[in-house]
């Protein structure tokens, strides 16, 4: 993938691009984005895939004034303006799905179809209980069980990683905590705005997702005017990493419909 740093509203935004075809914006989750992630060539094979690193993730800057996911939505909207992309498809995972929802409520006409995998960002359950487990209060091994159907395949081993990769991973987690902590993993206003989204929306979850439950996904889907749900077998929360072939097939079948 080609990578560049683009100055957007004073933020040095890392942005990757690959492939040709219909422009498709990919918004990563809390794990961040890397061009070697296995689903990337599957999506870029038939599409122009544009994948920014959110502010505070990867090599993107994080200005002092940016303190919520909604701020990131405006950054990415300006990125589309800069690239002269006036209507795109959008694929998003985890907190990327939260940002995608914020973007689609601001300019519904700019998004043709939207596929979300394990999205967070709204509160659909009881006010006295968390909809999403508190991953910041759990040991790493317990979090891995929520993220993966087969956590042994994806065990975090800093000894096998470069210093730069470890630094990026820790920075991603720090930024995730900063932007999603209070209120935890949602914007209370977003659920009142999602009815504005007129694009067809697909909401996916791994069948073993320990972060996003099937009830949460169903409640999320009801907030859109035109939404359907699906699942990826033998996958946890990070289905795009654990089952990239099945993830890409489900997403592309929906986008190409």
- Mean pLDDT, the chain, rounded, equals 96
38 or 156, higher pLDDT = 38
Q: Quick check: 91 and 26 in contact, CB under 8 A?
A: yes
Say how far apart CA 201 and CA 198 lie, in whole Å.
9
Confidence of residue 156 (pLDDT cuts 50, 70, 90): confident
pLDDT per residue over 210-254, tens digit each? Answer: 999 999 999 999 999 999 999 999 999 999 999 999 999 999 999
Instruction: Using pLDDT thresholds of 50, 70 and 90, give the confidence band for residue 1.
Output: confident
CB 119 within 8 A of CB 207: no
Pick from 221, 215, 170, 160: which is nearest to 194 by CA?
221
Domains and CATH numbers, the chain: 2-255 (3.40.50.1820)
- pLDDT tens digits along 157-168: 888 889 999 999
pLDDT tens, position by position, 169-216:
999 999 999 999 999 999 999 999 999 999 999 999 999 999 999 999
pTM across the whole model: 0.97
């Amino acid at each position: 993938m080609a990578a560049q740093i683009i100055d957007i509203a004073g933020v040095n935004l890392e942005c990757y691009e690959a492939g040709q075809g219909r422009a498709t914006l990919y918004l990563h989750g809390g794990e961040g984005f890397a061009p070697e992630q296995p689903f990337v060539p599957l999506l870029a094979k038939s599409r122009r895939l544009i994948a920014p690193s959110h502010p505070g993730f990867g090599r993107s800057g994080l200005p002092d004034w940016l303190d919520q996911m909604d701020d990131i939505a405006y950054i990415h909207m300006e990125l589309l303006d800069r690239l002269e992309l006036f209507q795109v498809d959008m694929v998003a995972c985890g907190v990327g799905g939260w940002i995608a929802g914020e973007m689609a409520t601001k300019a519904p006409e700019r998004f043709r179809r939207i596929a979300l995998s394990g999205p967070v960002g709204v509160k659909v359950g009881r006010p006295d209980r968390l909809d999403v487990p508190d991953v910041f209060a759990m040991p790493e091994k317990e979090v891995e069980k929520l993220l993966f159907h087969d956590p042994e395949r994806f065990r975090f081993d800093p000894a096998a990683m470069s210093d730069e990769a470890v630094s990026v991973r820790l920075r991603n987690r720090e930024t995730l905590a900063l932007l999603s902590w209070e209120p935890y993993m949602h914007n209370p206003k977003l659920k009142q705005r999602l009815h504005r989204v007129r694009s067809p929306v697909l909401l996916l979850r791994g069948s073993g997702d320990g972060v996003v439950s099937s009830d949460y996904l169903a409640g999320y889907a009801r907030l859109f005017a035109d939404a359907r749900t699906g699942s990826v077998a033998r996958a946890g929360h990070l289905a795009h990493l654990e089952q990239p072939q099945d993830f890409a097939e489900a997403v592309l079948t929906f986008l190409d419909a």
